[in-house]
């Protein structure tokens, strides 16, 4: 068996594994921008296969926008807003970072969703230079549980805002036509067989939901191929993406997941370690054997996958044992993206909340707006005193000890190293 190089974390870039041939570097594995293996660095920034949505280098394109995040002056709108259409789900995953907000069991109303699409398309700053460019319809529950999500996708598309959808795949058949307008549809399968799927998703041993998810994905791939739509665009980042959070027993299934994904027509497989939810006290870590199994599985996929199939793994936000790093001092990411969420409690049907950290959805202190009914309040409160109060509250101690693995790790590292300090001497290109 070929030996895979040891993984080392490097800032900003997604890290891969250096494939070794009898102890000598043989080639870069897809997804890698820079790898330190056996004490040597290998850079491969110009390889075509690195020009994908999973390349963190794209964050530098927002450098000028982020320089404007200051206490005085106009704060630019977030380029991306995540929308949680529903705080409920038909599954119950062991690692669900929305387990607490799902108890809310509320949804965003049709009015909130459509008003938001209009507001987002008109929200501009700096003479129209900056605006909301993309909406990711994702977490807080299963987004396709909301009956208005199809209309919402169409409306965003009509307003020329890019969309992506992250789903557990169980309800794709209800919205197949509407999902074609997404740039990508990421399906959190997290397993390569029914037994692991059922165990992790809180289902009966006999459940056939896994088969339904795979059938739904195959159907979406098939119908998108026959249509001119965003989902079928000629790009390695568009299309249906099979996703796998690595937890424990599913590490050995990575290569089988890659086989299934290719067989049913997915464009790519994306894997990353599962994190511990912010509001769960339990802990888990990967053993040396599991990390070795991970390297073996990665190596198998790289050797066997078809040309053109994307295999991506996000490791840059983790240390070499796949635990959180969070080695930055302040959180400017709360001015870069936000999450629109259902209202809570007794508030009216057309109320909503705006949370500034998707990793701490259940944390009331992360809410810039709570049970608000005027959608225009989002733009009015953005970058104002209340927002900076949240920033001041997130101390470096809190980032280290209370925050979970930060989704916006690289965003914060760029601010710290390239905007607050010019550690890269950014103009020397």
Q: Which residues bind ligand SF4 (CB under 6 A)?
A: 89, 91-93, 96, 98, 141-142, 168, 188, 331, 333-334, 357, 359-360, 394, 399, 403, 406, 408
Give whichever of 136 and 399 is closer to ligand SF4, judged by the CB atom.
Answer: 399
Give whichever of 159 and 174 is closer to ligand SF4, judged by the CB atom.
Answer: 174
- Classify residue 13 by its DSSP letter: S
Give whichever of 98 and 186 is closer to ligand SF4, judged by the CB atom.
Answer: 98
| SS3 labels along 220-283 | HHHHHHCCCCHHHCCCCCCEEEEEEEECCCCHHHHHHHHHHHHHCCCCEEEEEECCCCCCCCCC
Q: Are 331 and 338 in contact (CB under 8 A)?
A: no
- Burial (CB count within 10 angstroms: exposed 0-12, middle 13-18, buried 19+), residue 289: exposed
Give whichever of 49 and 324 is closer to ligand SF4, judged by the CB atom.
Answer: 324
Query: Which residues is 338 bridged to in the sheet?
Result: 81
Q: How far is the CB of 339 from ligand SF4 (least distance, A)?
A: 10
Q: How far is the CB of 403 from ligand SF4 (least distance, A)?
A: 3
Residue 392: which residues within 8 A CB-CB, separation 6 or more?
none
Q: Are 51 and 308 in contact (CB under 8 A)?
A: no
Q: How far is the CB of 97 from ligand SF4 (least distance, A)?
A: 7
Q: How far is the CB of 95 from ligand SF4 (least distance, A)?
A: 7
Give whichever of 20 and 108 is closer to ligand SF4, judged by the CB atom.
Answer: 108
Q: Which residues of 23-34 are buried (b: 16+ CB within 10 A; e: fewer)?
A: eeeeebbbbbbb
Which H helix or E strand runs over 412? helix 409-414
Q: How far is the CB of 245 from ligand SF4 (least distance, A)?
A: 8
Tokens 């309040």 appear where? Answer: 377
Give whichever of 353 and 394 is closer to ligand SF4, judged by the CB atom.
Answer: 394
């Amino acid at each position: 068996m070929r030996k895979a190089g040891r993984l080392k974390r490097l800032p900003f870039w997604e890290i891969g594994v250096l494939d070794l041939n009898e102890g000598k570097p043989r080639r870069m594995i897809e997804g890698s921008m820079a790898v330190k293996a056996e004490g040597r660095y290998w850079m491969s920034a110009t390889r075509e296969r690195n020009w994908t949505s999973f390349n963190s280098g794209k964050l530098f394109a927002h450098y000028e926008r982020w320089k404007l995040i200051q206490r005085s002056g106009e704060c630019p709108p977030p380029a991306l807003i995540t929308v949680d259409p529903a705080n409920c789900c038909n599954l119950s995953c062991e690692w669900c970072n929305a387990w607490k907000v799902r108890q809310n069991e509320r949804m965003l109303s049709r009015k909130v969703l459509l008003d938001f699409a209009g507001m987002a398309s008109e929200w501009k700053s700096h003479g129209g230079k900056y605006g909301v460019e993309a909406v990711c319809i994702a977490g807080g529950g299963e987004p396709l549980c909301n009956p208005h999500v199809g209309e919402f996708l169409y409306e965003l598309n009509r307003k020329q805002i890019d969309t992506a959808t992250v789903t557990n795949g169980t309800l794709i058949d209800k919205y197949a036509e509407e999902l074609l307008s997404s740039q990508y549809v990421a399906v959190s399968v997290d397993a390569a067989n029914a037994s692991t799927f059922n165990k992790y998703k809180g289902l009966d041993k006999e459940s056939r939901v896994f088969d339904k998810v795979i059938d739904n994905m195959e159907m979406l791939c098939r119908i998108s191929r026959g249509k001119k739509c965003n989902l079928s665009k000629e790009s390695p980042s568009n299309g249906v993406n099979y996703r796998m959070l690595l937890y424990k027993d599913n590490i050995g299934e990575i290569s089988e997941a890659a086989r299934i994904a290719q067989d049913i027509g997915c464009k790519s497989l994306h894997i990353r370690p599962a994190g511990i939810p912010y509001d769960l006290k339990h802990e888990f870590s990967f053993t040396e054997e599991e990390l070795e199994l991970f390297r073996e599985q990665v190596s198998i996929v790289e050797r066997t996958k078809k040309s053109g199939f994307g295999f991506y793994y996000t490791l840059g936000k983790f240390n070499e044992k796949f635990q959180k790093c969070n080695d930055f001092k302040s959180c400017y990411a709360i001015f870069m993206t936000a999450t629109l969420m259902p209202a809570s409690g007794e508030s009216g049907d057309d109320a909503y909340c705006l949370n500034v950290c998707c990793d701490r959805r259940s944390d009331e202190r992360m809410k810039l707006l709570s049970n608000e009914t005027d959608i225009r309040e989002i733009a009015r409160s953005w970058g104002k005193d209340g927002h900076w109060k949240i920033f001041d509250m997130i101390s470096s101690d809190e980032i280290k000890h209370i925050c979970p693995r930060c989704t916006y790790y690289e965003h914060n590292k760029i601010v710290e190293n390239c905007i607050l300090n010019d550690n890269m001497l950014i103009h020397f290109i």
